[in-house]
């Protein structure tokens, strides 16, 4: 029995199957509780897999070696966000000025608010530097973090947590604010919580998803340009 386990634990087959199965069950559960926000399938899957790996004493690297085939699909799927975006191109063109203003202010707000609140709650300086780019997609965030003296690997985790928080709270927040404009919903999710938020926006509405994808891409570039300057001004 242990021989079989030792063999399987080293093959992609086991970890690929585990990832798909756990996500399938998490999504099923999410539908069963009528999309109750805290039952977010990404959150559930991550929690279940972390418990499973911890119990079986499997190091993350061994799991990732197998699950990387799923991870790889993030790339082409990000490119595929061009299609929903294209569908709303005419609306996009009419909104060029408002979109640019919202992106710029949103990007600044994300960095400034996280540093200000982090100082209030007493987060350490190195964690603060790792937190600054938390709203942008992982590869960009890690680069920014390194540039301003944060810990890139910590940033990667904080980015994922931010994405999950955004995906979990977005619907309730928008409903409570009676924010019904799908473009505004999507843009807000994409700026605040990058790809994980965009995945949630796509489930909410096609137009929200299109604007979230755009916001994720442009906010990433904008934050990369702005954060080193902000870090200097804020004395990070």
Partner 1 sequence: MLRGMTVLLICQLIGEVTARALNLPMPGPVLGMLLLFSVLLWRGAPEWLDQVAQGLLRFLPLFFVPAGVGIMNHVQLMRAEWPAIAITLLVSTVITMIVTAGVLLLFLRLTDARKASTHATNHD
Residue ranges in 138-157 that form contacts with partner 1 under rule CB under 8 A = 138-140, 143-144, 153-154, 156-157
Q: Give min distance, CB of 63 to partner 1, in A.
A: 6
The answer to whether residue 204 forms part of the interface with partner 1 (CB under 8 A) is no
The answer to whether residue 171 forms part of the interface with partner 1 (CB under 8 A) is no
Q: At 48, is the secondary structure helix, strand, or coil?
A: helix
Ranges of H-type helices in the chain: 2-8, 12-32, 41-56, 60-72, 74-80, 82-87, 89-94, 96-121, 125-131, 138-147, 152-176, 182-204, 206-234
The Cα angle at residue 25 between residues 55 and 56, in degrees rounded to 5: 10
The answer to whether residue 85 forms part of the interface with partner 1 (CB under 8 A) is yes
Q: Give min distance, CB of 1 to partner 1, in A.
A: 25
Do 52 and 26 form a contact (C-beta atoms < 8 A)?
Answer: no
Task: Out of 14, 145, 150, 196, point to the residue binding partner 1 (CB under 8 A).
Answer: 196
The answer to whether residue 129 forms part of the interface with partner 1 (CB under 8 A) is no
Complex with partner 1: residue 9 or 161, whichever CB lies closer: 161
Task: Out of 14, 148, 199, 204, point to the residue binding partner 1 (CB under 8 A).
Answer: 199
What are the tokens at 194?
């990058």
């Amino acid at each position: 029995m242990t021989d079989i386990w030792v063999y399987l634990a080293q093959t992609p087959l086991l970890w690929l199957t585990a990832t798909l199965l756990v996500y399938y069950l998490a999504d099923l559960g999410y539908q069963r509780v009528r999309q109750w926000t805290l039952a977010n399938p990404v959150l559930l899957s991550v929690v279940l897999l972390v418990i499973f790996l911890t119990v079986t004493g499997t190091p993350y690297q061994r799991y990732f070696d197998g699950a990387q085939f799923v991870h790889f699909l993030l790339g082409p799927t990000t490119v595929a966000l061009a299609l929903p975006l294209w569908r709303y191109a005419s609306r996009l063109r009419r909104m060029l000025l408002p979109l640019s203003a919202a992106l710029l202010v949103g990007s600044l707000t994300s960095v400034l608010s996280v540093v200000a609140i982090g100082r209030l709650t007493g987060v350490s300086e190195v964690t603060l530097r790792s937190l600054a780019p938390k709203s942008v997609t992982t590869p960009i965030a890690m680069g920014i973090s390194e540039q301003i003296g944060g810990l890139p690997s910590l940033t990667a985790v904080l980015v994922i947590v931010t994405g999950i928080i955004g995906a979990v709270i977005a619907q309730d927040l928008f409903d409570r604010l009676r924010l019904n404009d799908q473009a505004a919903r999507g843009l807000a999710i994409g700026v605040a919580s990058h790809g994980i938020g965009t995945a949630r926006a796509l489930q909410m509405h096609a137009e929200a998803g299109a604007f979230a994808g755009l916001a994720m891409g442009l906010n990433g570039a904008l934050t990369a340009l702005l954060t080193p300057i902000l870090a200097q001004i804020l004395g990070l």
